[in-house]
């Protein structure tokens, strides 16, 4: 027999579509599973539980031309004070903000009350510590020409304070008469965070290499407790048991849940000192514009902002009218630059690197353990009932973190993307301020009365019948849990192209039939309700769908030759003819069904196919051609998914070699 000839003709037979009965189960039960959904007054814990979040109340929106509140403080009378860009201090009165004082500088990062007076640390020109009386009078306590940024202040004995500063990485002891001495000098440029410890010691966090330092002001010496892999130690807390908690805000380890622009990643990174002087006032104005747009709790960003402010102002022959701590002509150029930036084409994107920012737990013996790590920037944290309340950036999330790290829960999420400051108020309430959109919120101790969780869009890859859903939940008395579903055939769900949400149905103890029509895509929505004291808790969701059966695909059939059969163990002799034709089939099935293979042949020009084998489980067949006359032949392969489907619903595909 002559060698087989590959014929380029191809026949593909596809049966009409019908729904198969093979079910597919989808299970969601982990934090990662549920984190892909949309939360509205609901929260997901690290244990994979959905529950109502804490009750949130928006108290006020930002005043005109204010993009960020950077610090918040409450006095004994319960009055709330906020600092904003430009050195302005606002007081919350009733239901509105009233401008209370103006402090020199471009940013107030830290505010504390000592008696009736408010003490603030400012950054920028004339950086220092200022006292503000109840009537809003600003009195300078201390400043130093070498200090450009006062990032943190803590109380000392009497009317003294310790100030963590930049850009020379010094800690000052400031006395009541305004005199100050350096009690610690480190190799870092900025002391971003600081807290008073036991026995008069201080703990400080730096902003270049992420050092956590224990300082003895009496001996003016310090030692590094931990060298974090993140670049910034943004917040410090000390527990009653002497355990130190340190949070990081390295911008290179932040992910907004999607690919971000490379320009944004670089813009929020800490800028390096300029290698040579800028070209002139115009270039300086551009840099000031960029830094104001992205200004946040970032030492070096504000550092560059203040430096540029001084150079721009110094380059002008005549004094300029000022607004928010900057010349009005710069403000106008900022607005024009923003308008031009909006018209620019999208920049290249890159995925932020890193595993996220962390909270480190350092015990009294110096042992360090990570109790929190997520791809967010941590700007602020407070302790409430032996639990850490953590404010983060880029997603507007607040987390509740057990000090052991065993339980982590997102207790709130707001539209402004950066939670810049949190403070404790009366009756266990928390107050937090935001950037991106400068607002003030109240976070209560009770649960929200109602909230929803909307799942991600599930893609069946083909039209499917969504059969039933089962919600595993604990529903206390006076709480309720309902479920609704919808389906569609486009990936982006909307009211015009998808089915309507089904009627809200009380979640039963077992399976619930899904009434949404067949479709490729599917979503479910959970609605949780309660009395504020308790919440339903969902820990597992199961969905069963029935896939539509699709035929196998046969991309190719190849025919080769061999001198021996597949089961022969003895090597062939050189005189043996290649009597076997090896038929190899490349085949896939979209339903991952088990398949049968049937093999046929015919002499070229004939119409009748002769069966070689049927219902073979392997896509390879050895054809013994010893009894076949010489000539040119074609091979036909028919593939069937009958092993996985009822006879009436089985589909086939075929190809000719």
pLDDT at 190 over 70: yes
Residues 6+ apart with CB under 8 A from 365: none
Query: Per-residue b/e over 280-289, b at no fewer than 16 CB within 10 Å?
Result: ebeebbbbbb
What's the average model confidence in pLDDT over 522-539? 96
Q: Residue 484 and residue 159: Cα distance in Å, rounded?
A: 60
| Confidence class for position 571, pLDDT limits 50, 70, 90 | low
Residues 6+ apart with CB under 8 A from 630: 1, 2
Q: Is the Cα dihedral 550, 551, 552, 555 positive or negative?
A: negative
- Cα of first residue to Cα of last residue in the chain, in angstroms, is 17
The per-residue pLDDT for range 382-418, each reduced to its tens digit, is: 999 889 999 999 889 999 999 988 899 998 888 888 9
- pLDDT value of residue 335: 53
- pLDDT value of residue 85: 85
pLDDT at 288 over 60: no
pLDDT at 458 over 90: yes
- pLDDT value of residue 576: 58
| Confidence class for position 8, pLDDT limits 50, 70, 90 | very low
| Confidence class for position 199, pLDDT limits 50, 70, 90 | confident
How many other CB atoms sit within 10 Å of the CB of residue 656?
Answer: 18
Residues 6+ apart with CB under 8 A from 376: 254, 356, 357, 392, 393, 394, 395, 397
Q: Is the Cα dihedral 284, 289, 294, 295 positive or negative?
A: positive
Q: Residue 180 and residue 159: Cα distance in Å, rounded?
A: 13
Which of the two residues, 338 and 571, has the higher pLDDT score? Answer: 571
Mean pLDDT estimate for the chain: 82
Q: Which of 168-182, 330-344, 361-375 is predicted least confidently?
A: 330-344
pLDDT at 352 over 50: no
Angle at 640 between CA 635 and CA 641, to 5 degrees: 155
Structure tokens at 88: 């302005």
CA 287 to chain centre: 28
The per-residue pLDDT for range 242-257, each reduced to its tens digit, is: 999 999 999 888 874 4
The per-residue pLDDT for range 103-117, each reduced to its tens digit, is: 998 889 999 999 899
pLDDT at 264 over 80: no
Q: Which of 341-350, 468-477, 616-625 is predicted least confidently?
A: 341-350
CA 18 to chain centre: 41
- pLDDT value of residue 13: 32
Q: Over pLDDT 90: what percentage of the chain?
A: 63
Q: How far is CA 172 from CA 118, 130, 150, 204, 381, in A?
A: 19, 14, 10, 12, 24
- pLDDT value of residue 315: 42
Which of the two residues, 48 and 9, has the higher pLDDT score? Answer: 48
The per-residue pLDDT for range 52-91, each reduced to its tens digit, is: 999 999 999 888 888 899 999 999 999 999 999 889 999 9
């Amino acid at each position: 027999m002559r060698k087989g000839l590959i014929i380029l003709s191809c026949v593909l037979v596809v049966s009409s579509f019908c729904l198969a009965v093979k079910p597919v189960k989808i299970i969601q039960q982990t934090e990662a599973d549920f984190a892909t959904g949309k939360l509205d007054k609901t929260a997901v814990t690290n244990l994979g539980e959905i529950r109502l979040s804490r009750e949130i109340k928006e108290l006020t929106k930002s005043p005109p031309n204010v993009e960020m509140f950077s610090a918040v403080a409450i006095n004994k009378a319960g009055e709330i004070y906020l600092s904003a860009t430009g050195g302005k201090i606002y007081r919350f009165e009733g239901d509105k903000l009233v401008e209370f004082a103006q402090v020199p500088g471009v940013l107030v990062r830290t505010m504390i009350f000592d008696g009736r007076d408010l003490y603030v640390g400012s950054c920028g020109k004339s950086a220092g510590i200022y006292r503000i009386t109840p009537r809003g009078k600003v009195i300078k306590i201390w400043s130093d020409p070498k200090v450009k940024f006062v990032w943190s202040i803590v109380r000392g004995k009497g009317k003294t304070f310790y100030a963590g500063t930049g850009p020379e990485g010094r800690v000052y002891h400031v006395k009541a008469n305004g005199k100050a001495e350096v009690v610690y000098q480190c190799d870092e440029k900025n002391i971003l965070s600081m807290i008073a410890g036991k026995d008069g010691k201080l703990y400080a966090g730096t902003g270049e290499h992420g050092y956590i330092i224990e300082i003895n002001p009496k001996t003016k010496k310090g030692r590094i407790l931990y060298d974090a892999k993140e670049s910034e130690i943004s917040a410090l807390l000390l527990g009653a048991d002497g355990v130190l908690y340190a949070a990081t805000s390295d911008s290179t380890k932040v992910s907004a849940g999607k690919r971000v622009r490379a320009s944004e990643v670089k813009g929020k990174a800490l800028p390096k000192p300029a290698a040579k002087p800028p070209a002139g006032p115009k270039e300086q104005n551009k840099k000031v514009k960029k830094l104001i747009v992205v200004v946040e709790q970032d030492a070096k960003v504000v550092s560059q902002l203040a430096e540029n402010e001084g150079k721009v102002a110094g380059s002008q022959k005549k004094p300029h009218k000022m607004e928010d701590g900057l010349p009005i002509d710069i403000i106008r150029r900022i607005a024009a630059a923003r308008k031009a930036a909006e018209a620019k084409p999208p920049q290249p994107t890159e995925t932020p690197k890193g595993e996220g920012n962390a909270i480190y737990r350092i015990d009294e013996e110096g042992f360090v353990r990570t109790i929190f790590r997520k791809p967010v920037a941590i700007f602020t944290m407070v302790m409430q009932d032996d639990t850490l309340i953590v404010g983060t950036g880029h997603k507007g999330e607040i987390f509740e973190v057990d000090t052991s790290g065993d339980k982590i829960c997102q207790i709130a999420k707001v539209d402004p993307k950066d939670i810049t400051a949190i403070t404790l108020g009366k009756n266990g309430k928390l107050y937090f301020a935001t950037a991106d959109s400068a607002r003030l919120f109240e976070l209560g101790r009770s649960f929200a009365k109602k909230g929803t969780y909307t799942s991600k869009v599930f893609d069946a890859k083909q039209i499917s019948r969504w059969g039933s859903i089962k919600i595993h939940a604990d529903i206390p008395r006076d709480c309720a849990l309902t479920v609704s579903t919808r389906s569609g055939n486009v990936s982006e769900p909307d009211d015009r192209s998808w089915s309507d949400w089904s009627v809200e149905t009380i979640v039963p103890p077992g399976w619930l039939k899904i009434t949404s029509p067949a479709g490729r895509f599917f979503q479910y929505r959970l609605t949780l309700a309660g009395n504020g004291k308790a919440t339903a808790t969902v820990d597992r969701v199961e969905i069963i769908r029935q896939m539509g059966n699709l035929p196998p695909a046969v991309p190719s059939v190849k025919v080769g030759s061999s001198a021996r059969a597949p089961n022969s163990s003895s090597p062939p002799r050189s005189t043996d003819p290649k009597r076997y034709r090896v038929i190899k089939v490349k085949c896939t099935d979209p339903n991952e069904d088990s398949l049968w293979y049937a093999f046929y042949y015919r002499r070229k020009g004939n119409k009748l196919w002769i069966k070689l084998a049927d219902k073979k489980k392997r896509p390879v067949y050895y054809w013994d051609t010893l009894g076949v006359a010489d000539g040119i032949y074609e091979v036909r392969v028919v593939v069937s998914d009958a092993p996985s489907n009822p006879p009436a619903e089985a589909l086939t595909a075929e190809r000719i070699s």
